[in-house]
Structure 1
Amino acid sequence: MNAPRPPKVAGIDSTVPAPPHTTAPLPGVPPAASPADAALPPGVLIQDRLASWVSDLTTLHELTERLIKTSSLDGALREVLGAGAALVGARRGMAVLEPADGLGPTSTIGLGLAHADLGTIETVPHGPGSHGRLLDGLPEAGPAAPGPSSAHLAPGPSPTRPAPGPSSVRPARVPEPIAIRDVRTEEGLDPRHREVAARLGYAASYALPLATEESGRLGAAVWFYDEPAEPDERRRHLIGLYGRFATEHLARLLQVERARVRVATIAEELLPSRLPRVPGVRLAVRHLTGPQGGGDWYDALPLPEGALGLAVGSVSGTGPSALAAMGRLRASLRAYAVMEGEDPVAVLSDLELLLRLTEPARSATALFAYAEPAQRRIVLAGAGHAPPLVVGDRRTEFVETSLSAPLGMLTCWEAPSVELSPAPGETVLLYTDGLLRRTGDATDRTFARLHAAAASVPEADRSDPGAVADHVLRTLLPEGLDPAVEGEDVVLLAARFE
């Protein structure tokens, strides 16, 4: 009678010895440590180990999928805090964005902590604090030093990649996470650290650097435990892998945010830094821009004999080229307005000729109004632009303007001018097409919504052109202008006549 054979588990013959060339377990993956595990058949151990790996990979996949859907730095930091709390088994946490290059932006995000709690934690000196030591202890990538690089990410394996840039720059060292198992008994802690921990009710912490060898330091995240504790080796390994991926995602968002800020700064510098003060009229403007920057612009120019030139326009395209074209077009219109501002048709005709000669592949819309506040008289002309809107106590109506093509679309542009006389207390709204298109509605419906928004301005706000503009924007775009969504800029210029 044959001796009984051990059963097969999951299709694996447990009696077959492992081949001598089998690789060792991955670093950071805990082996079977308990006597109970050692007594189990090898097939059961393999099955449990595989199930654990699959569970961990599934968890990391789900968390990273959620992270890559974030499109802002604050949103990404909040997602990192929530995911990290689940991985390390904590309930509260704090993330600090503080790039090592000092170019910003900087921010502090809390999980389960009020704003006052974050301020209390920040009173702990950087040196003794766990996240402060991470922020202070990681330099930027510097000149290469002789000898092998000591960059590492612990715990767990860290895939190596060639650092970008010239060979004279080496990756920055990434410090290890800092675990404080018990704030009360940990040696070397600042008394202020223990005092803050007692006040906020946490007994342990685990701090992770938000850094990679290539990106350098972006910040740090720290999670707080209510009782003395620290994550085991498996949790450290998982949070290390997740932290590396999160840092790379944050680095990409940081580049996008810095580019957006630079574009917005250039756009603001190309537009008037402040509106002029002209007797008989009060001005206000609202300018909202997308992440790539658009070609929408506005201007308010004092002219001789107490007159005022008002203009809004839009250049086709987005990005730096559209901003540059917008700056050239606005500067040219200013010159033409000074020379022949009393005739808006002549101003736009000269502008159209300049655009056609210098930038034949680009088109633009524009509206120029010559205003005499003392007489409450406006003469205006538009090139492919939406008509102005007059808002007052007795009427809310669009100005009747003739249809005309945008600048650069025809061999010779020409359109008649229109004259209107605002009553005392009425506000004239000039706006760009971005205000209409950002709503996502059809053109006729958008005009109807704009008219309804202007008509619903509260009586108490009608004396303030800025309040009128704000009300219209809130009504048409109740969620504001999402900076992560590409689209046209929005310009709204309000002129209230006394």
Structure 2
Amino acid sequence: MLDIAPRLRVDVDPLMAAQHDLGVCNAFWRITPGGKVEAMSAPHLPKVAGIDPVVAGSPQTAAPVPARALPAAPPPAASGTLIQDRLAGMVSDLTTLHELTERLARAADLDSSLRELLRAGAALVGARRGLVVLEPTDGLGPAVTIGLGLGHADLGHIETVPRSATSYGRILDGLPDAHGGSEFLPEPDAVPGAGGYAAPVDPRHREVAARLGYAASYSLPLTAEATGRLGAAVWLYDEPAEPGDRQRDLIGLYVRHAAEHLARMLEVARARTRLAALSEELLPSRLPRVPGVQLAARHHTGPHGGGDWYDALPLPEGALGLAVGSVTGSGPGAVAAMGRMRASLRAYAVMEGEDPVAVLSDLELLLRLTEPARSATALFAYCEPAQRKILLAGAGHAPPLVVGDRRTEYVETSLSAPLGMLSCWEAPSVEIEPAAGETVLLYTDGLLRRTGDSMDRAYARLHAAAAGVPRSVREDPGALVDHVLHALLPDGPAAASAPAGPDGPDGLRGLGLGGLGLGGPDGLGGVPYEDIVLLAARFD
């Protein structure tokens, strides 16, 4: 019988096992019996039971490789863990980028987009402070600097540093060596940390860095495909540090996406600015001076360009015409329709201003003939300041509010459908006689909608805000209007109001940052806002 040991020893090739990453591998580099190793390894095996087992070796069979000649390979388990960790890191990075870009996409205007870029970038590079400088190369503006963890005074200090002494300044100037990166701000005779680059540090730069307490910075250009360079973003480190390779990859991907988003927001902001400027040009540049009455107006154009308007024009025999209105829709079409309505009403008021119903009837006919698909609301008041008498009529418009020391009440006007929706004229005129020192407040429904409440509650809030005006403020119609705005819209009275006074610089309305889309989000408290118009007339 065959003399074969019942036990076998199997040695698995660790290199092939690692390559396949399997628990079982059929690649064996040596199979030897548990006993009689020398006999089994001999080139000619002895005869067994009269059989010559000598078999010619195959020329294709290579000699066995000794185990010590194989290169060292990591255990299969360790290699698999390394791959899993790397995949988990990649998934985590992609998830982070997805979340940050989603947050950026929800930014409604240029200001909030710039702030979100700073916040997300600081989290990606591990910095606490930073700033973004928006300075488009086309020169059309706006030129804006926004800081993260930096106040206005801090930004002012940084702006005193020569631009050529900072990495982001070289980016803005388009210098050939400005490609972004880390910049260390060493003390004199100190050696900068590893990585990045250390530019020649201007003494003023070192002084400002010491005052603000940052030791290193990391800057990147903001460049979009359609618009070119938009500006630069820089993050400041409190200690000598710089982002690692993984952080650089992430912030590079994020900034490229953010630059394209900023380019779109920039175009939106510029369009809003042009629309707001057009709307302002179609409204009175200053209010008239009429004896016996003081006037003040506030107007703010919404982000999409609405059709709210107001007017005040002197009439023969010392009379005064006051009007407010609103055209349906938004955008350039609504702004153009608003301009036509205001110009037409001025003509009708000069011809037959003593009869407000006739003025609005003519406006109704004009709207039907020229704008059949559009409707509008309007209120016209014929005032005689010497007699303190007002004759007014409205078409679908909110009633005026009389504010004085003894009363704060809405004028009881007849209900009427808006212009363009009347089958015949439905509402007669109403005559009121404000007392000396009382103010008549005209407004559009955009002010009520801006509160975010139901119309009934908005009317109640407006009444409460007017009744709560301090006695000392009631003598100035401009201060009264500002107080009402602040009471109704505590988060944005400055952005919502564009003052128009009777003379001087106060008689002209400025756009401010709100006109560029840089005055905050498109709503206060999450409420999208429309045009706001208030026109106040205080009778002596």
- Shorter chain as normaliser: what TM range? 0.7 to 0.9
Aligned equivalent of 1:29:
none
Deviation at 1:461, TM superposition (A): 1.1
Matches within 5 A, 1:387-466: 387-466=399-478
Equivalent position amino acid for 1:107 in 2: V
The DSSP-based 3-state class of the residue aligned with 1:368 is strand
Alignment of 1:177 with 2:180, yes or no, is yes
Deviation at 1:15, TM superposition (A): 9.7
Deviation at 1:182, TM superposition (A): 4.7
Identity over aligned residues, as a percent? 72
The DSSP-based 3-state class of the residue aligned with 2:155 is helix
Aligned equivalent of 1:220:
232
Deviation at 1:177, TM superposition (A): 1.6
Aligned equivalent of 2:36:
none
The DSSP-based 3-state class of the residue aligned with 2:366 is helix
Instruction: Answer with 389-398 or 78-87: which moved more.
Output: 78-87
Q: Deviations over 1:60-99 (max 9, x none)?
A: 2222222222223232222222222222222221211111
Alignment of 1:63 with 2:71, yes or no, is no
Say if 1:407 and 1:413, in contact at 8 Å, map to a contact too: no
Counterpart Cα distance in 2 of 1:15 and 1:121: 65
Q: Deviations over 1:302-346 (max 9, x none)?
A: 111111000001111111101000000100000111111111111
**Structure 1: runs of 5 or more not aligned:** 17-36, 139-172
Deviation at 1:433, TM superposition (A): 1.7
Q: 1:375 to 1:15 in 2, by over 3 A?
A: farther
Aligned equivalent of 1:297:
309
Aligned equivalent of 2:321:
309
Alignment of 1:363 with 2:363, yes or no, is no
Aligned equivalent of 1:126:
163
Aligned equivalent of 2:539:
497
Instruction: Answer with 289-298 or 442-451: which moved more.
Output: 442-451
Aligned equivalent of 2:47:
none
Root-mean-square deviation over aligned CA pairs: 2.6
Say if 2:129 and 2:235, in contact at 8 Å, map to a contact too: yes
Q: Deviations over 1:261-284 (max 9, x none)?
A: 111111111100111111110111
Counterpart Cα distance in 1 of 2:435 and 2:263: 54
Equivalent position amino acid for 2:11 in 1: A
Counterpart Cα distance in 2 of 1:351 and 1:360: 13
Matches within 5 A, 1:258-407: 258-407=270-419
Counterpart Cα distance in 2 of 1:174 and 1:444: 63
Aligned equivalent of 2:522:
484
Counterpart Cα distance in 2 of 1:449 and 1:224: 46
Aligned equivalent of 1:31:
none
Equivalent position amino acid for 2:181 in 1: I
Q: What is the TM-score normalised by the length of structure 1?
A: 0.83
Alignment of 1:98 with 2:101, yes or no, is no
Alignment of 1:207 with 2:188, yes or no, is no
Instruction: Answer with 283-292 or 474-483: which moved more.
Output: 474-483
Counterpart Cα distance in 1 of 2:160 and 2:521: 33
Say if 2:315 and 2:350, in contact at 8 Å, map to a contact too: yes
Deviation at 1:113, TM superposition (A): 2.4
Counterpart Cα distance in 2 of 1:240 and 1:471: 47
Counterpart Cα distance in 2 of 1:174 and 1:350: 68
Alignment of 1:257 with 2:257, yes or no, is no
Q: 1:308 to 1:38 in 2, by over 3 A?
A: farther
Q: Deviations over 1:103-160 (max 9, x none)?
A: 111221222223222212112211231000011117xxxxxxxxxxxxxxxxxxxxxx
The DSSP-based 3-state class of the residue aligned with 1:234 is helix
Say if 1:8 and 1:43, in contact at 8 Å, map to a contact too: no
Deviation at 1:426, TM superposition (A): 0.2
Matches within 5 A, 1:14-93: 41-93=78-130
The DSSP-based 3-state class of the residue aligned with 1:493 is strand
Counterpart Cα distance in 2 of 1:359 and 1:250: 37
Instruction: Answer with 415-424 or 433-442: which moved more.
Output: 433-442
**Structure 2: runs of 5 or more not aligned:** 1-8, 26-72, 192-197, 497-519
The DSSP-based 3-state class of the residue aligned with 2:294 is strand
Equivalent position amino acid for 2:530 in 1: E
Say if 1:286 and 1:492, in contact at 8 Å, map to a contact too: yes
Larger Rg belongs to: 2
Counterpart Cα distance in 2 of 1:452 and 1:91: 44
Q: 1:445 to 1:191 in 2, by over 3 A?
A: closer
Counterpart Cα distance in 2 of 1:72 and 1:354: 37
Counterpart Cα distance in 1 of 2:475 and 2:352: 32
Deviation at 1:474, TM superposition (A): 2.3
Match of 2:483 among 453, 471, 474: 471
Equivalent position amino acid for 2:128 in 1: R
Deviation at 1:225, TM superposition (A): 2.1
Aligned equivalent of 2:64:
none
Counterpart Cα distance in 2 of 1:82 and 1:445: 38
Aligned equivalent of 2:4:
none
User: What number of residue pairs does the alignment pair up?
Assistant: 444
